[in-house]
Amino acid sequence: MTHPVWEDAVLALRLLRLDPVGLGGIWLRAAVGPPHDRFIRAVGPAVRLTCHMTDEALLGGLDIPSTLANGRPSYAQGLLAKPGCLMLSCAERASRHLAAVLARTLDRCAGHSLIALDEGIDDEAPPAALTDRLAFHLVLDGLSAADCVQSAEDMPESGPTRLAGLQDEALRALTAVSVKLGVTSLRAPMFAARTARAHAALHGRPMAEDQDLETAVRLVLVPRATMVPQEDPAESPPPDDPPPPSDADTRVDKPAEDQLLEAALANLPPDILSRLCSQQRLQRAAGTSAQGALMKGSARGRPLPSRPGRLDGRSRIDLIATLRAAAPWQPLRRGTLPGGPLKLRSSDLHVRRNQSRSDRLLIFAVDASGSAAFNRLAEAKGAVELLLAEAYASRDHVALIAYNKESAELLLPPTRSLVRTKRHLAQLPGGGATPLAAGLKEALHLAATGRRKGFQPALILIADGRANIDLLGQANRANALSDALTTARGNRMLNIPAVVIDMSKRPEAQLSEVAQALDARYAPMPFADAKKLSGVVNAQLT
């Protein structure tokens, strides 16, 4: 029996065939397997793209062999020159530059559509600028070959010359439902309107009806939902019992918006809350990264388009780009410049560029004061070890600062060595007062030093009480809070991402003030263990 998810995937392909320019394309999230392969076969002929293609391969450029042979500029067409269906493999690895090129191609409405194949895991996702231009977001994870019985071989080769009509009231209803579902993109209601018109045309209707609008809500708006719609108490029915319906009128028509909202609620999956959290993580991952900052150079990393430059002893020449820049000028330079058959000038030189990511430095500043210090330090040590276990894949370094008594101490310098970490964390001091300002000062100093060394620092402050020691080492609660807030405000110039984890039994207002001054996220977590701490760090700092 065909699974409803696969039926929607086949229907999305048919609608895309009818209106490829108006609908943009499909973002398909599916692991390699029978559903993934069968969907690709159903798409039919398409231009296959990869994430490592150059601008010359996509947009075209100078044909060097023909130019040198003919003595005049000769240009070759790129893969995006002809309209048609494009299929991008491993779309979760697409760079922002590639996403911009493909987004510009779709915005030109020159007959292109895009199938973005997302085979990523966890929070990997294509750039948001690309997925926002694709009408359909499909997820085939969890389907088997038996769920994909329905065939898409009978899809029409081309769409009708004209889509069905759509009333203004229906467009307003789609927009209102989009707002209630928490969809912020302005393209979403427009895609929903095009989907309703294409679905009506697919079934031979001149005007989009209720079932067409409900299909558009299910295919376009529900996958983009970021919240569950709430009933408006002002519009709730009165508590009095309504009169029994008469035989002449057993059905009361509801406004189009209410009908579409009910259809959206009916199509929300049972595990909607967990799916919404996962969807929000994917949307954040589409625009941000949990890794370090991007750095450009010529030594290592992902290749970037070369740029004109000079040989300064550190840059590497890009021979192909240099020849491409010099080729159009050869007829003019013959007879004017001495040398061999190829005439080069310094302005023709192009140097290579590469892009790599800096290592991320996670700085833990842990409150080691009070009677519960040993429990907090034990959980902090466990969280550090869990994060370091993932350091080899995420290029993270970890440092640990403990503050108690009258000062703060760097107990673990930045490291990626799990063996060294366990040895240093075996015995840690605890007990005493709470010099919060000293801990913040030491952490920000280490973050600034790490940034100068090429790290991308992030600060995690773990505390469970009020500050009672100022920067001079004196026991004065008022001065201690003032020094802590002043020190925290210094992070606004450094702009270091941070999170304040409150492990007290009740949320502490003073720590919330420190988080606000630090421009950090505040996370109250009483009785947190090492696994929860590492999970919060990964979630809050991505």
Q: Give the CATH fold of the 4-150+163-224 domain.
A: Rossmann fold (3.40.50)
Predicted local distance difference test score (pLDDT) of residue 289:
40
Q: What is the DSSP string of 143-206?
A: --GGG--S--TT--SS--SSPPB--HHHHHHHHHHHHHTT---SHHHHHHHHHHHHHHHHTT-S
Distances (CA, A) of 276 to 6, 17, 181, 534: 21, 29, 11, 21
Cα(382)–Cα(401) distance, integer angstroms = 15
The residues, any chain, with a CB within 8 Å of residue 165's CB and separated by 6 or more, are 197, 206, 207, 208
Of the two residues 141 and 8, the one the predictor is more confident about is: 8
Give residue 52's pLDDT.
Answer: 81
Cα angle for residues 78, 84, 90 (degrees, 5° grid): 75
Percent of the chain at pLDDT exceeding 70 = 72
| Pairwise pLDDT comparison (41 vs 287), residue with the higher score | 41
**Cα–Cα distance, 505 to 507 (Å, whole number):** 7
d(C-alpha 49, C-alpha 365), whole Å: 46
Could you give the 3-state DSSP secondary structure of residue 411? strand
Note the pLDDT of residue 106: 94
* All residues at 6 or more sequence positions from 214 whose CB lies less than 8 Å from its CB, including other chains: 259, 260, 263
Residue count (the chain): 542
**pLDDT for the residue 180:** 86
pLDDT reported for residue 408: 85
For residues 253 and 259, give the distance between their C-alpha atoms in angstroms, rounded to a whole number. 9
**Closest C-alpha among 33, 32, 38 to residue 6:** 38
β-bridge mates for residue 169, sequence order? none
Region of poorest pLDDT, from 195-199, 211-215, 267-271, 302-306:
267-271
Q: Measuring CA to CA, which residue among 28, 217, 275, 2 is closest to residue 140? A: 28
pLDDT band per the 50, 70, 90 thresholds, residue 535: confident
| Mean pLDDT of the region 121-130 | 80
Least-confidence region, from 88-97, 233-242, 354-363: 233-242
**What pLDDT shows up at residue 242?**
54
Which one is predicted more confidently, 172 or 492? 172
> What per-residue confidence (pLDDT) applies to 231?
55
Provide φ and ψ at 234, rounded to 5°. Answer: -70, -25
State the average pLDDT over residues 300-328.
77
| Mean predicted confidence (pLDDT) in 237-253 | 48
Kindly state the average pLDDT of the residues 425-452.
Answer: 80
Nearest in space to 221 (alpha carbons), one of 167, 286, 283, 267? 267
Q: Is the pLDDT of residue 132 over 90?
A: yes
Q: What's at 526, amino acid-wise?
A: P
- Residues 191-224: tens digit of each pLDDT: 999 999 999 999 889 999 989 999 999 999 988 8
For residue 124, what are the contacts with CB-CB under 8 A and spacing of at least 6?
92, 93, 118, 285
Q: What is the pLDDT of residues 5-33, one digit of tens each?
A: 888 999 999 999 999 999 999 999 988 88
In degrees to the nearest 10, what's the CA dihedral of 294, 295, 298, 302? -10
Share of the chain above pLDDT 90, in %: 19
Mean of the per-residue pLDDT values of the chain: 78
Residue 136 has pLDDT above 80, yes or no: yes
Higher pLDDT, 398 or 105: 105
DSSP 107-136: HTTSSEEEEEEE---TT----HHHHTT-SE
Taking residues 84-93, what's their average pLDDT?
Answer: 91
pTM of the predicted model as reported, rounded to 2 decimal places: 0.57
Average pLDDT over residues 402-409: 82
Mean pLDDT of 462-479: 83
- The two counts, helices (H) then strands (E), for the chain are 22, 16
What is the per-residue pLDDT for 380? 66
User: Which CATH fold topology does 360-540 show?
Assistant: Rossmann fold (3.40.50)
Domain boundaries in the chain? 4-150+163-224, 304-355, 360-540
Work out the pLDDT band at 268, boundaries 50, 70, 90: low
- C-alpha distance from residue 423 to each of 143, 159, 209, 379 (Å): 46, 68, 69, 16
Closest by CA position to 431, among listed 486, 504, 369: 369
DSSP 381-399: HHHHHHHHHTHHHHTEEEE
pLDDT at 252: 38
The residues facing 415 across adjacent strands are 398
Instruction: Please give the pLDDT value at position 80.
Output: 92
**Least confident residue range of 107-121, 233-247, 487-501, 508-522:** 233-247
State which amino acid sits at residue 97.
H
Residue 291 has pLDDT above 50, yes or no: no
Q: b/e per residue, 88-112, with b = 16+ CB within 10 A?
A: bbbbbbbeeebbebbbebbeeeeeb
